[in-house]
Amino acid sequence: MTRHALAALIAALPLSPAAAHPHVFVDVALRFQDDGAGNLTGVEVTWSYDDFFSLLIFADMGLDPDGDGQLTEAELKRLRGFDLVEWPEGFEGDLYIHAGGQKIALDHPVPTGIRVEAGRIVATHTRSFAPVPADGLRVEPYDPTYYVDYTLAGPVILPAGCAYTIREPDLDESQRAFRDMLAQLSAEQQYEGVEVGNLFSDTMVISCRAPS
């Protein structure tokens, strides 16, 4: 059962009116590619899954039967790209990049790496996109359903001359906004689920100095 199959289970349940809470926790690292002319052209995304979810994946896929947290090369080969198999229409990969008010279209992911560190699955993939000026880009990793909680733990690697700042969400304010949103929905709408992940998202803004 992959990450998205697990998410489908919770999507069938009503949201709690008390608080929104995720079930899977992922640390995110990003390495951006550029064209040498101030434009970004792609990003390598690394997802480090929490140890409990990693154990669930091992059990579901029949990996690591001795429970030592070490996978063989054959097991790693089976695991590679496990989180990219189910990619339903409209799914955007839980990564959003905006240039001003325009959302950048990201190509389908290509798996590039898999390993296990301290019992955690660390999966890497790349996504390309049309060249876009790096300065001022806004990057947000989040699951719209907030089933998965993404944290921009880094590292974040950018072209020379660029830097970034990360704004972490105010979780108390995010929970208040979530409850206010639920209060405006019917019970049926709540049962179907609402998209609230952006309320709890880290936001990264890229700034680049002008070439001399």
Cβ-based neighbours of 31, under 8 Å, separated by 6 or more: 43, 44, 46, 155, 156, 157
pLDDT at 123: 97
198 within some domain = yes
150 within some domain = yes
164 within some domain = no
Rounded-to-integer distance, Cα 41 and Cα 117, Å: 29
Q: Which residue range is the domain that position 40 belongs to?
A: 3-159+172-208
Q: What are 113's two structure tokens? A: 């790496």
pLDDT at 199: 82
pLDDT, tens only, 116-135: 999 999 999 999 999 999 99
User: What is the domain count for the chain?
Assistant: 1
Residue 113 phi, psi dihedral angles, 5° rounding: -170, 155
pLDDT at 171: 73
| Residue percentage of the chain with pLDDT more than 70 | 84
- What residues are paired with 61 via a beta bridge? none
167 within some domain = no
Secondary structure (H, E, C), the chain: CCHHHHHHHHHCCCCCCCCCCCCEEEEEEEEEEECCCCEEEEEEEEEEECHHHHHHHHHHHCCCCCCCCCCCHHHHHHHCCHHHCCCCCCCCCCEEEEECCEECCCCCCEEEEEEEECCEEEEEEEEEEEEEECCCCEEEECCCCCCEEEECCCCEECCCCEEEEEECCCHHHHHHHHHHHHHCCCHHHHHHCCCCHHHHCCEEEEEECCCC
152 within some domain = yes
Q: How confident is the model at residue 190 (pLDDT cuts 50, 70, 90)?
A: low
165 within some domain = no
166 within some domain = no
Q: How confident is the model at residue 173 (pLDDT cuts 50, 70, 90)?
A: confident
Rounded-to-integer distance, Cα 24 and Cα 3, Å: 8
Query: For residue 92, is pLDDT > 60?
Result: yes
Report the pLDDT averaged over residues 144-149.
Answer: 90
Report the pLDDT averaged over residues 199-204.
Answer: 89
On whether the CB atoms of residues 95 and 127 are closer than 8 A, the answer is yes
Report the pLDDT averaged over residues 27-52.
Answer: 96
pLDDT at 17: 45
Rounded-to-integer distance, Cα 175 and Cα 196, Å: 10
101 within some domain = yes
Report the pLDDT averaged over residues 24-36.
Answer: 96
* Mean pLDDT rounded to a whole number for the chain: 85
pLDDT at 42: 97
